[in-house]
Amino acid sequence: MSLLYNVPPTDPLSYTAVAVFLLVVAGLVSWVPAGRAMRVDPIEALRGE
């Protein structure tokens, strides 16, 4: 049973679109903490512990 009209369950375009969407979201979500971590001086971060 298909939840979308005229879209087969094995549609490669749908699988590709979902995979690309998830990769883009994961990249954007990980970019913010990585950018914040790159701005911290390593010596100051080690002294803070």
Q: What is the C-alpha to C-alpha distance for residues 33 and 21, in angstroms, rounded to an integer?
A: 20
Residue 6: is its pLDDT beyond 60? yes
What confidence score (pLDDT) does residue 49 get? 63
What pLDDT does residue 46 have? 87
Q: Is 17 left (phi over 0), alpha (psi -120 to 50) or beta?
A: alpha
Kindly report the pTM of this predicted structure: 0.63
**Token pair recorded at residue 7:** 């879209």
Delimit the domains of the chain by residue range: 23-49
State the pLDDT at residue 19. Answer: 96
As given in the structure block, the two tokens for residue 26 are 């994961």
> Measuring CA to CA, which residue among 24, 27, 23, 4 is closest to residue 14?
4
With a cut of 90, say whether residue 23 has pLDDT above it.
Answer: yes
Gap between the Cα atoms of 15 and 30, Å rounded: 23
